[in-house]
Structure 1
């Protein structure tokens, strides 16, 4: 089940599903050590002694555009009751807070009992866990080693009214959550192994009135630490105070710049701010890595999740944040890659947020020969991200600090990692991570990176090296036009296979990344005859009736049966970016604003962007939310605002 909302503070990241249930809980990094891993922290309620699971209620979910908060609203018309969950993670400490407002819309009082289930797999393992009730503080604690979680509930300064601790998935035990259906919990005080727990709160809600309950979950590294934090909450920072100050903090953070969104709809602007919060929540505070997604749903379909740092996704996130003035986050991300890039100048597949090497399906051997298991565009795009940061900030000290690691070494690597007879890069894996070949997209990123490495080198007085990089970029651009451009029909190959000066396996597949890379990385002018002819060829193949774009023709990833390929968010935004780039008047730009509104149908009901949507149902598919999708939307809006500046339509407050 793809996630609907996310909340985080850089050290803790929580993903909730459409039922408002916690499905992913990362701590102490945003993206490392998922202590739930797709299990379910269930939510239940009894109304006048009649039990229900909230998942069976009518429900509405939303990701806030005003602060880093999510909301779940549950209604039961026949019971005339509405329950609203507002969810935050305290910005100063690792405390997950849920503000629950129970609204009795009936003409008589109701006895309510709220149930909160906890089903941990601490350190991503359900074994060697312990859960226990702690009477001195009336709390339930789960722990495994140095990962400890304390659960408490407050209403009118009173805590937990009922509890139990049990087992799930062991000895035919489904889980202690099933005891909630009997309303009175058995008060089992301790268990070890695959442990779950349930805590409950009794509330009487008068007719026509609202009662508020706070649930909070504290993360720490020792039992003493979480107990001290619990005391801190009870004595100094009660949940309502944490809730208000956190909301105020993130509201101030989003309003760092008073952007002027001329002609953009309110919904488009809301998605911009939601995107900003989603990207921020996926950035690890300690190391600066930005994970692709905290959604562990992918474990249900494959061997792994998206909770890794790809240089590509990270670079695009850094660029988007630079464009709108969040430079401290851009630097964090860039610094992460300065520490993870190899000494030889190339990026490997992906990384954990603690900077260790992530899992990979790329082999180190191809056709019996040693081959680097890299996606070369991930190396190239880092120079592009650093250049974008520098162009806006002029932070030459930061550039000089990272020159060797992120400019010289990668540029030297790219100069050497070529087929000299063809003036093309050697084979590497593509941005879709599927095949080992030479791609037009990758080649464009390499050309762009070497040009920018040349510019950086010249700025820093390294003219000989700068000329070498520029000459190599020119040579590769000639190689691209010679071998990746099909002069016969005016199209570009998606890829070719290169080996010892020989080209084989020319792939003519129409691919959105090919079109995008040619203009975005300034290999061709978007107004050139060659580009326009290719655009006219490829767009009808990739664009669907609602204006959305698939990745490439006959893309089978999550495709259902004979249906068409699924549209992706980033590929759809790429073409909108091209349209923005081409606008020459405010009237044309307003037309693009209307197309941005058309894109909104691809967001989830809660207002976040997935990786892709189902062709038939237009519902989210794969990792949700996807950081790259949101970063791409931020960059698209930033490009729109930049055009407003060019046309002199008011002050947009973009960094100059």
Structure 2
């Protein structure tokens, strides 16, 4: 789990729940992780006693300064008689991580205190061939490999430092050397290396002293030295204050009518905007999550662009009035779309194709498969029309008409079952089934109608009619094949065995909200209301924690079978979308408001939203923050 991320779109720093730096991504959000998830340790020595802040004798409060991407962290160790308050940020326009550290003596005696900060870089995501050295010109520590450089410094200047070997034979690292309150030096080390610095603070009774600490990231030694000089010239305090002010202005740039929403909901809205910004690369990729802990239970992570997730996020940002962020996403999509008109499963931040498990060959039927989740293609076109419809940027969308919109729409028209008139089987949004899924069909309807709108915009009326006709045929086929008269609701989908044989999948799935959300059916249609009633009845968590599960019998990270699953923030909020869509009066909105209040209760104290919620304890489960949440 990760908390209180700070970033600027090219440098992202994340923390675990113990306030240890765990991920340092540069030069793209989500790519490359120069720590591989290994912690940067933070320790305090006072009068001969030493403690790392991850130990149980510390209490921790991890939050943000209101309306900013500056952290507000309080660490207290009663047995040590020390309190530490930290403010972390990444400069809004420079690749500099900056921290203010205030250390307080809680006792009525004079104290000799030392703070130790450790760095476990694994540059380019491996520990081999790194170098750490003390640079006497910049009076700083430097870690580097090839074209990645990191400079570490403090003000006032650190008192001691050490570079050394780590994770090699019996050498654990320089952090172990710090535990006696001393560092033995070591001006340069190559290979598998780490470094530690020490700052000495003599504290009078009840006195507080502060220092600033920063890490500059760059592509060359000259660049990080320039950034280091810039911090000294501007002073780190001014840097911190400027960044705090920048984000406060950024998050309040639009006047929002919050009507009667509570301060807690309003604060979470603003916090979500800020956290989403940390997960968006400056070149347009919107990362699903940047939490390397997931690699402990899998051999991969979530630091990828799924265009489906991205489409949901850009639509939310457009609604909130942040189109300057979403344009880069569409620019990137136009570059990475396949020549045949679809998007693959996921992509790296730089637009290259990421790891995947969607096969392109059916080993049993001996035939080619298109390795996609078709909703990822449809939703990009849907989101692009929503963007245009709000901002009317015809010159912006014009560049995408042939290369993205028509290309994707023609694929969606062709990728259909000739008999059923439904989209051909592809992977579902949860990536656990291949078939014809109601959610996917609904997104294709939304995508084709969006493409038809664009075709009319550019005076291609025959093309518009073609796309509308195909969308209407899919809606009719959904009514015929994907709605069960017997059950009185939509099915999750159809599972195929062979080319023509299929069975219905009647599982109740939260993603069925898509039948109204993308315009295939109206929220007031009885088919939709019956379906959403079934979602409400079957997927609400059966504990006092509340929330909505993904689907019936979901065993992914299951805590207990008795609860009916784990609550997912996105699934719970989809139910709120339904309440809003069918509301006729302000009173009708109350159920949606209650879900928003539930969300504020289940967020971390910082406002971070994880993927899931433990149905017994309410604790965050799985990756955090999940950008989609």
When the two structures are superposed, what TM-score results if normalisation uses the length of structure 2? 0.96
Partner of 2:321: 325
- Assess if the C-alpha contact under 8 Å between 1:263 and 1:590 holds in 2: no
Matches of 2:551 and 2:109 in 1, distance apart?
A: 59
Partner of 1:573: 573
Matches of 1:64 and 1:310 in 2, distance apart?
A: 31
- Assess if the C-alpha contact under 8 Å between 1:512 and 1:550 holds in 2: yes
- Assess if the C-alpha contact under 8 Å between 2:546 and 2:615 holds in 1: no
Matches of 1:506 and 1:151 in 2, distance apart?
A: 59
Deviation at 1:478, TM superposition (A): 1.1
User: Residues 444, 205 of structure 1: CA spacing in aligned structure 2 closer, same or farther, 3 A cutoff?
Assistant: same
Superposed CA offset, 1:233-273 (max 9, x none): 22x22211110111111111111013232221111111111
Mapping for residues 263-342 of structure 1, pairs under 5 Å: 263-285=260-282, 287-342=283-338
Matches of 1:352 and 1:15 in 2, distance apart?
A: 19
- Assess if the C-alpha contact under 8 Å between 1:105 and 1:208 holds in 2: yes
| 1:528 maps to which of 522, 525, 536 | 525
Superposed CA offset, 1:305-345 (max 9, x none): 11111101111111011111111111111111111111221
Partner of 1:612: 612
Deviation at 1:544, TM superposition (A): 1.5
Partner of 2:412: 414
Matches of 2:518 and 2:137 in 1, distance apart?
A: 63
Secondary structure in 1 aligned to 2:132?
A: strand
Partner of 1:640: none
Deviation at 1:605, TM superposition (A): 3.2
Deviation at 1:154, TM superposition (A): 1.1
Deviation at 1:110, TM superposition (A): 2.1
Superposed CA offset, 1:543-601 (max 9, x none): 12444100001111111354531111100000011112222222333553233112222
Q: Point out the more displaced range, 142-151 or 103-112.
A: 103-112
Mapping for residues 189-200 of structure 1, pairs under 5 Å: 189-200=187-198
CA-atom RMSD in angstroms: 1.6
Partner of 1:96: 97
- Assess if the C-alpha contact under 8 Å between 2:541 and 2:566 holds in 1: no
The size of the alignment, in residue pairs, is 622
Matches of 1:19 and 1:419 in 2, distance apart?
A: 52
- Assess if the C-alpha contact under 8 Å between 2:437 and 2:492 holds in 1: yes
Matches of 2:437 and 2:228 in 1, distance apart?
A: 55
- Assess if the C-alpha contact under 8 Å between 1:25 and 1:34 holds in 2: yes
When the two structures are superposed, what TM-score results if normalisation uses the length of structure 1? 0.92
Deviation at 1:391, TM superposition (A): 1.1
Deviation at 1:186, TM superposition (A): 0.7
Secondary structure in 1 aligned to 2:400?
A: helix
Matches of 1:364 and 1:91 in 2, distance apart?
A: 42
User: Unaligned stretches of 5+ in structure 1?
Assistant: 630-656
User: Residues 454, 499 of structure 1: CA spacing in aligned structure 2 closer, same or farther, 3 A cutoff?
Assistant: farther
Mapping for residues 21-420 of structure 1, pairs under 5 Å: 21-56=20-55, 57-155=58-156, 159-234=157-232, 236-285=233-282, 287-366=283-362, 367=364, 368-420=366-418
Superposed CA offset, 1:353-396 (max 9, x none): 11111110111112321101100000000111111101110111
- Assess if the C-alpha contact under 8 Å between 1:129 and 1:142 holds in 2: yes
Partner of 1:585: 585
Secondary structure in 1 aligned to 2:161?
A: strand
Secondary structure in 2 aligned to 1:488?
A: coil
User: Unaligned stretches of 5+ in structure 2?
Assistant: none
Deviation at 1:124, TM superposition (A): 0.3
| 1:479 maps to which of 477, 481, 484 | 477
- Assess if the C-alpha contact under 8 Å between 2:48 and 2:180 holds in 1: no
Secondary structure in 1 aligned to 2:118?
A: strand
Matches of 1:11 and 1:70 in 2, distance apart?
A: 18
- Assess if the C-alpha contact under 8 Å between 1:343 and 1:405 holds in 2: no
User: Residues 387, 500 of structure 1: CA spacing in aligned structure 2 closer, same or farther, 3 A cutoff?
Assistant: farther
Secondary structure in 2 aligned to 1:576?
A: helix
Superposed CA offset, 1:85-121 (max 9, x none): 1100111211100111112233233222110000011
